[in-house]
Structure 1
Amino acid sequence: MSTATMNATRPIITPEELLKYWQGHRGLTRRVIEAFPEKDLFEFSIGGMRPFSALALEVGGIATGVDGLAYGRWSTWEELEASQKDVNTKEKLLAYWDSVTEKINKEWPALTEARFNEVENSWGFYEGPVRSILFYFIDNEIHHRGQGYVYLRALGIEPPHFWEH
């Protein structure tokens, strides 16, 4: 088989490569969390935006939707918020982040190529193919991490390089 033929049948990105891409972003966001002083992580904001801890909890909570992506099981927002109510220190936030990362790695194999094309209604507010919902998860994380970069710069802290994900 020629290289041209082989490349013509290969998908643009495999599920394994997509997981690596997502987890690369999650690792970068974790380093942004680590860069914050504890007090500022939970209290600092600009222009009425939420503190970065709240943004990171939102992103982490959305990522727990990997169950929905894989199996169509979507927890309620109330259940999600209840699972995060005691995350009130940097150490607990990082532990929560790591537990979500482990959950993603555990559930990922259930995401077959066919599953990526199935339509879901995530948390009752966004209906679309599983792949589109996953892209939303990643886009939302990148968006909120950008807010964290603004906060860190305003605090005089150099954030991690955005391209190192």
Structure 2
Amino acid sequence: MFLTKNDFLEIMEGNRRLTLRAIESFPDDKFFEYTPDKKLRPFSEMIKEIVNIENGYIHGVALDKWEYKDVFEGANKKEEFLQISQEVRDQTRRLFEEMNEERLKVVMQDPFFGPEMSHFARLQYGLENEIHHRGQGFTYLRLLGIEPPEFYVR
């Protein structure tokens, strides 16, 4: 492996800090309601997807418990989204500590999305999904006249 699991976790951490700052940049109502087009989702819905994938994957990879659920059920305030996002990341940190690098090499069919891949590739997909949706959030902020957080500050 080119990266150690701790190297990868640090990359995930830097990205999550940036995503949390993007959430904080949104006015409360715009976080839940704003879309530049009716075909698109509000940033809050993208955050749900990001964190729900993380939650499902980390429990599956670390504990072999595969369940995709909405950890935001009932949450309707931006502060709740920030708190839940942090709680899921805290779980991820704990479970990462318990995993060995051999576990990340295990290959199996993805129980949520279908293709066969390694657990490492699965977690990488989750990270790429976060980066993709955060980019959409940055675009939403700019369209709202709000300067997004500095990308290079992790």
| TM-score category (smaller protein) | over 0.9
- The answer as to whether partners of 1:71 and 1:110 remain within 8 angstroms in 2 is no
**Counterpart for residue 117 of structure 2:** 128
**TM-score w.r.t. length of structure 2:** 0.92
CA offset at residue 90 of structure 1? 0.5
What whole-Å deviation, never above 9, does each CA across 1:99-144 have from its counterpart, x for those lacking one? 1111111100232111111013333423210011011000000000
Using the alignment, how far apart are the partners of 2:98 and 2:129 within structure 1? 23
Using the alignment, how far apart are the partners of 1:44 and 1:124 within structure 2? 28
**Counterpart for residue 5 of structure 1:** none
**TM-score w.r.t. length of structure 1:** 0.86
Larger radius of gyration: 1
After TM superposition, the runs of 4+ consecutive aligned structure 1 residues lying more than 6 A away are: none
**Counterpart for residue 142 of structure 1:** 131
Q: State the percentage of identical aligned residues.
A: 35
Match of 2:11 among 8, 12, 21: 21
SS at match of 2:82: helix
Tell me whether 1:56 sits opposite 2:47 in the alignment: yes
Using the alignment, how far apart are the partners of 1:94 and 1:54 within structure 2? 13
- The answer as to whether partners of 1:41 and 1:51 remain within 8 angstroms in 2 is yes
Give unmatched runs, 5+ long, in structure 2: none
- The answer as to whether partners of 1:117 and 1:129 remain within 8 angstroms in 2 is yes
- The answer as to whether partners of 1:115 and 1:130 remain within 8 angstroms in 2 is yes
SS at match of 1:84: coil
CA offset at residue 34 of structure 1? 0.4
Provide the alpha-carbon RMSD of the alignment: 1.3
Match of 1:45 among 35, 40, 49: 35
Using the alignment, how far apart are the partners of 1:124 and 1:143 within structure 2? 19
Residue 148 of structure 2 aligns to which amino acid in structure 1? Answer: P
Q: How does 1:63-74 map to 2 (within 5 A)?
A: 63-64=54-55, 65-74=57-66
Give unmatched runs, 5+ long, in structure 1: 1-10
CA offset at residue 163 of structure 1? 2.1
Residue 134 of structure 2 aligns to which amino acid in structure 1? Answer: R
**Counterpart for residue 99 of structure 1:** 87
**Counterpart for residue 4 of structure 1:** none
**How many matched pairs?**
151
